[in-house]
Structure 1
């Protein structure tokens, strides 16, 4: 099974490949289109959140704040 850190590394490498080499390219009659960059960014953000949650002990709402406005 691939760990979250390994997945994050793979996603980051895919993003870098697209940013450096482009979204798609053509060699002769063969055309290659890489993964959608916006989906990769979204997945990377999800993985970073999951990794952070693991490091914080999976505390639900560990990064949540509450404000109360009572109109006084």
Structure 2
């Protein structure tokens, strides 16, 4: 499944795993002539903050909960 097709919660799990990989294994390393560079840690942290905010906003619809609209028309 593509990252963009995942829910924000699923995306957050992937980002947290990527952050853990960078913290435990380093930003980049080389074995012989092969090199591996992981995603930028600051970018991953920014993505995590944005996803956490998005997830929090999904459940926070209290601003207009229990709001009703009444239309009063003049009698003819």
TM-score (normalised: structure 1): 0.77
The number of equivalent residue pairs is 59
Unpaired runs of 5+ residues, structure 2, are: 64-76
Computed over aligned residues only, the root mean square deviation of the Cα atoms, in angstroms, reads 1.3
Unpaired runs of 5+ residues, structure 1, are: 60-72
Given candidates 37, 44, 53, the residue that maps to 1:40 is: 44
Runs of 4+ with >3 A deviation: none
Q: Larger Cα Rg: Structure 1 or Structure 2?
A: 2
How has the CA–CA distance of structure 1 residues 58 and 8 changed in structure 2, closer, same or farther, with 3 Å as cutoff? farther
For 1:52-67, what aligned pairs fall within 5 Å after superposition? 52-57=56-61, 59=63
For 1:1-72, what aligned pairs fall within 5 Å after superposition? 1-57=5-61, 59=63
Give me the whole-angstrom Cα distance separating, in 2, the residues matched to 1:23 and 1:51. Answer: 27
TM-score (normalised: structure 2): 0.73
